[in-house]
Amino acid sequence: MDHEQACELLPGYVDEELSLSEAREVERHLADCPACQDVYEQQRQASRQIHEADLRVETPPELVKRIHAALPLRRSLWQRLFGAPERAAGTVKVGGASLGWAPLGAMAVSFAALAWSAGLYLSTPPGDTHLTEEIVDSHVRSLQFNHLYDVISTDRHTVKPWFDGKIDFAPPVIDLAPEGYPLVGGRLDYLNGRAVAVMIYRYKLHPINLYVWPGNDSGATPKLEVRNGYHLAHWSAAGMNYWAITDAGEGELDGFINGLRAHQAS
Ligand SMILES: [Zn+2]
């Protein structure tokens, strides 16, 4: 082995990555080459210092907080990573684009937080309280991540077919522009272990998220509530569950629901 070959192999030799025969040849060359002996000694020391150095960095609490804030809905994240418990993923076709609500970077970083957040998931209360929280989380997330829409359109004839093949039901898509609540788009979301359709409306500058999925869980009379400063209402009609949420006032939400129900009744 000549000097140049030895120089190339020295780092591997220091890190004990060479084959036995390569290592023997490097050793043989080292014995006769003071230049290589110098380099070897330097590299060996550098390698030892790196190994001995405490290079672990504690995550700053502020960063942990920000990751946590950026974490998508805990339960949905759990389900996306490990599968929904009730409905097989195969029954709901979800295109890659529709999963784009979470920046992948945030997902990668959040793995460490996942085990910890799973504990929170398990301790969340059941029933409507839980669903209310999910809806609020989802609503906030849709605004935070600029993920209000998967399809942007003020035309219900564009929004309605967009859902075809993406979910296993056909959500009623109603335009309420004449009532002052124009339809502005739609998207897919995940709530309560299932894919749901979301229609996005606006009242002036306030977005209204309307979640729809099959079921008859809420009764015909809308139940209104306030959570985290948002107004929510849920009801069931014609075999569909509806949840509406907005930062607009209760009167505005009321007007929206009345408009919607008038169309549903007609
Ligand atoms: Zn040499």
How far is residue 131's CA from residue 76's CA, in Å, rounded to a whole number? 12
Q: What distance in angstroms lies between residue 64's CA and the mean position of ligand 1's atoms?
A: 49
Same domain for 38 and 128, yes or no, is no
Same domain for 210 and 233, yes or no, is yes
Q: What pLDDT sits at residue 151? A: 79
How far is residue 141's CA from residue 72's CA, in Å, rounded to a whole number? 7
pLDDT exceeding 70 applies to what percent of the chain?
Answer: 77
CATH number for position 190 = 3.30.200.100
Please give the model's pTM, rounded to 2 decimal places: 0.53
Q: What pLDDT sits at residue 159? A: 87
Average pLDDT over residues 113-124: 47
Same domain for 41 and 73, yes or no, is no
Q: What distance in angstroms lies between residue 28's CA and the mean position of ligand 1's atoms?
A: 10
Q: What distance in angstroms lies between residue 242's CA and the mean position of ligand 1's atoms?
A: 77
- Pick the closest to residue 136 from 230, 68, 217 (CA basis): 230
Please write the tens of the pLDDT for every residue from 125-138.
445 788 899 999 88
Same domain for 108 and 177, yes or no, is yes
Q: What distance in angstroms lies between residue 18's CA and the mean position of ligand 1's atoms?
A: 17
Same domain for 16 and 81, yes or no, is no
Q: What pLDDT sits at residue 165? A: 85
Same domain for 192 and 98, yes or no, is yes
Q: What distance in angstroms lies between residue 22's CA and the mean position of ligand 1's atoms?
A: 14
The stretches of the chain forming alpha helices (DSSP H) are 3-14, 20-32, 34-52, 61-70, 74-82, 104-109, 111-123, 127-144, 156-162, 250-265
Average pLDDT over residues 44-54: 84
Same domain for 89 and 137, yes or no, is yes
Same domain for 29 and 47, yes or no, is yes
Full domain range(s) for residue 20: 3-52
Which SS3 state, helix, strand or coil, does residue 247 take? coil
Please write the tens of the pLDDT for every residue from 167-211.
999 999 998 999 999 998 899 998 878 899 999 999 998 999 999
Same domain for 139 and 204, yes or no, is yes
Same domain for 25 and 86, yes or no, is no
Q: What distance in angstroms lies between residue 53's CA and the mean position of ligand 1's atoms?
A: 29
Same domain for 212 and 81, yes or no, is yes
Q: What distance in angstroms lies between residue 48's CA and the mean position of ligand 1's atoms?
A: 22
| Confidence bin at 4 (pLDDT 50/70/90) | very high
Same domain for 66 and 46, yes or no, is no
Average pLDDT over residues 18-41: 92
Residue 87 above 90 pLDDT?
no
Please give the tally of structural domains in the chain: 2
